[in-house]
Structure 1
Amino acid sequence: AHAIMFALEGIPAVYIHSFLGTLNDQAAVAETGHNRSINRHRWDYHKLALALADDTSIHAQIFQGMCHLLKVRRRQPAFHPNATQFTLHLGDSVFAFWRQSMDRQQSIFAINNISNQEQIVPLSEINLIGTDNWTDLISGELYSDQRAELVLRPYQVIWLTNRWSHE
């Protein structure tokens, strides 16, 4: 869900507990009697630091994944808040949209499998420019055969671009 939000037009806002992978606090709800307490966890600084330092913890994995997406996003001109955005229809289980930088040099196709089943998207349906090389900004995978198909795992996101800005 955050990868979709990070690719959309505008400036994304991230709730701190989403960024840290904080689990729902059922004990706080029971203690306070307020449903909103479920996402009002108060971290102990040292426990949080330990969790983020442990690469096997869910908190570290979510934090690192979100940081990676934001780092990639920040470097792409097509993700500028005012860059062009158009939605694409690639089926009921695929939410996709196209972003284009203001100078029209970079295109990014954000292709999101929003289902719990594998989805196949022919590259020909995306309208890629045949003379460009296309790379997934998230995984680094190269897509050079425009007759190929994208095979999306359940809930997989691909940010397909013709210009990868590493700056």
Structure 2
Amino acid sequence: MTHLLREEIEKTILLTDEEFDLVLAAFKKKQFKKHQFIVQEQEPVLYEHFILSGLAKAAHLDKEGKEHITQFAFEGSWITDPHAYHSIVPASLNIDCLEDTETLALSREDRAYLYKRVPKMAVFFSEKTIADYITLQKRTLCLISTNAKERYESLLLRHPTLLQRVSKTHIASYLGLSRETLSRLLTT
């Protein structure tokens, strides 16, 4: 399964086997059960997680207790509360598993160690940060400039198997829709 991490990294930089061994040694393998939290609001965030298997979601609960999903993380993707992780402040997101999930977890300290031992990992993480920022910008623009049907179709184009893995309630929350609006979209 660790080949997924190497494939992800080598989309940006090439690593020797020795360098990849150093990278892999910096990560801790973590196992989570379905419905188990990886991160909980108001708690410290010690790790950034690379998903090896399973599915997780990041969400914020508003004052009325309504959940607003900000991200789904599938195999081969990363998830954390970036503000809490990098700024060492309590989490503002909950990240929980929608399926049994296995991750590779990287602490801030181990990331800093990697920068010293494998300096080109700084390039990887810099490029990853830029890509994440672009993804966030696209998602924000989509939310403010497209209608519900366009948002739904765009999501399915990017993640065609999502409907088989995630409840309609979760999809509606991610799209900024009510469950009823999503149901109407699915019947038209």
| Structure possessing the higher relative contact order (Cα contacts under 8 Å, 6 or more residues apart) | 2
Q: For the superposition of Structure 1 and Structure 2, which TM-score range results when normalised by the shorter chain?
A: under 0.3
Identify, as 1 or 2, the structure richer in helix: 2
TM-score by length of 1: 0.25
TM-score by length of 2: 0.23
